[in-house]
Amino acid sequence: MASPRVLIGVIDRPGSERDALAETIAKGRFAVVCAERPEHLPDETALIVAHARAVPSQEWPGLAAHRPAMVVSDSRLDSNLLKAVDAGLVDYIVEPLRHGEILRHMISKVIENRRLADEHARDRERLAELNESLETHLAMLRLDQQTGGQIQRRMLPPQPLTLSGVTLDYWLAPSLYLSGDFFDFQRYDDDYSVFYFADVSGHGASSAFVTVLLKYLCNRWLAEWDGKDPERLPARWLSDLNRELLDTGIGKHATLLVGVIDHEEGHLYYSLGAQLPMPLMVSGGEVRVLKGEGMPVGLFPGVEYPCLDCALPQNFRLWMCSDGVLECLPGETLDIRLKELERLVLACDSVAALREALALKNPTDGDDDTGGYSPGHDDLPDDLTIMTLSGFDDDKP
């Protein structure tokens, strides 16, 4: 089907010259309608070609406001040409009958430019509507994330917390409102307490949902434990969690340390799931890395996790950090950064001291010990959590 012809309005005095101008324009893909006044033209007129002799100069601004318009003249000396352009007409041409092809080309360009301008205006209007809708959804998402972050922080153990002579200290800073880092420290009875330290892959809402699952499962497993074989409990928890994460099919995995503290014997039973950095034990002015290794949790089916243990010396401090701490350490290689972390934890006697050594916000800055950074802080590209368990001093009962 042929495209409808574009209607061009010609404003000129009636006569043969106007008819010739209309005929010249109509040789292209245009239909032409002639009138003496712009208001006499049909509404569907796409462009006006006005002869300078037919429109007084004071009427050029009104003509330009009506619709796209061009001015033509038979004389190069016509002073109204520049006045017309200054008033808002898109262009002018001299001796249009001699330059009909140029005139038709100019008309085509003006119509195309107008079409593009109208299209861009519609696009800008749609974009403004989309931006407004996006801002509304972002505000709702931000509110949901803030609420979720508050709930997640309430799931953390209270602080300070001391169970049978072992004291928990921690600091958690999400890179967004929600964190993929999580931990817990709970009493089983007077003899045993259980803790875990997890770093879920990624960060944000999807990773935070895994921490909720982790909290629920560990509470359930702890309630089901009969207090027997504490040396096997951590490895069994990791195996069960590995199966649970794989069964959900959400594509998330985690690195974990799970431990059982025997307060009566001063002993730690634990298992590892690809923890990095490795837990560090500080005692007697020395620091050592807890031995052992294990596969990430939630990546591979049928994984067996190691059953590990070590004695807990007097005045010990067990440091656990999520891999976000590596972004805050100097050094070109991982080994250099890990060695620097060992040096720092040996020199620091508290989480607050390590925060200061890492140039993180000081606890005296007015923030609490959870989320010391504002969400989305540019200097914190990943969730960062620091946790210590310390105790068994010489004065314990």
Question: What sign for the dihedral angle of Cα 10, 12, 15, 18?
Answer: negative
In the chain, CATH 3.40.50.2300 covers 6-120
Sign of CA dihedral 370, 373, 375, 378: negative
Asked if 18 and 12 count as a contact pair (C-beta separation under 8 A), the reply is yes
Architecture of 6-120 per CATH?
A: 3-Layer(aba) Sandwich (3.40)
In angstroms, the Cα distances linking 132 to 124, 125, 370 are 12, 11, 33
Find all residues with CB under 8 Å of 22, minimum gap 6, and list them.
Answer: 10, 32, 34
Residue with tokens 């921490």: 211
The answer to whether the beta carbons of residues 141 and 170 sit under 8 Å apart is: no
pLDDT on residue 362: 43
pLDDT of residue 380: 63
**pLDDT value for 69:** 87
Give CATH for domain 155-391: 3.60.40.10
Is residue 338 within a helix (H) or strand (E), and if so which, with residue range? helix 334-347
CATH 3.60.40.10 domain range(s) in the chain: 155-391
DSSP one-letter string for 265-317: TTEEEEEEES-SSPPEEEETTEEEEPP---PPBTSSTTPPPP-EEEE--TTEE
DSSP string, 158-219: PSSEEETTEEEEEEEE-SSSS-SEEEEEEE-SSSEEEEEEEEESS-SHHHHHHHHHHHHHHH
Contact 175, 382 (CB under 8 A): yes
Rounded Cα distance between 178 and 180, Å, is 7
Q: What angle do CA 274, 276, 278 make, to 5 degrees?
A: 95
Q: What is the pLDDT of residue 264?
A: 93
pTM metric for this prediction: 0.71
* Predicted confidence pLDDT, tens digits, the chain (397 residues): 456 788 999 999 999 999 999 999 988 788 999 998 888 889 889 899 989 888 888 888 888 777 888 888 888 767 777 778 888 888 888 889 989 899 999 888 988 888 898 899 999 999 999 999 999 998 998 888 888 888 899 999 998 899 999 999 999 988 878 889 999 999 999 999 999 999 999 877 888 989 999 999 999 999 999 999 999 999 999 999 999 999 999 889 999 999 999 999 999 999 999 999 999 999 999 999 999 999 999 999 999 999 999 999 989 999 999 999 999 999 999 999 999 999 999 999 999 999 999 988 544 344 444 444 433 444 566 789 999 999 986 444 3
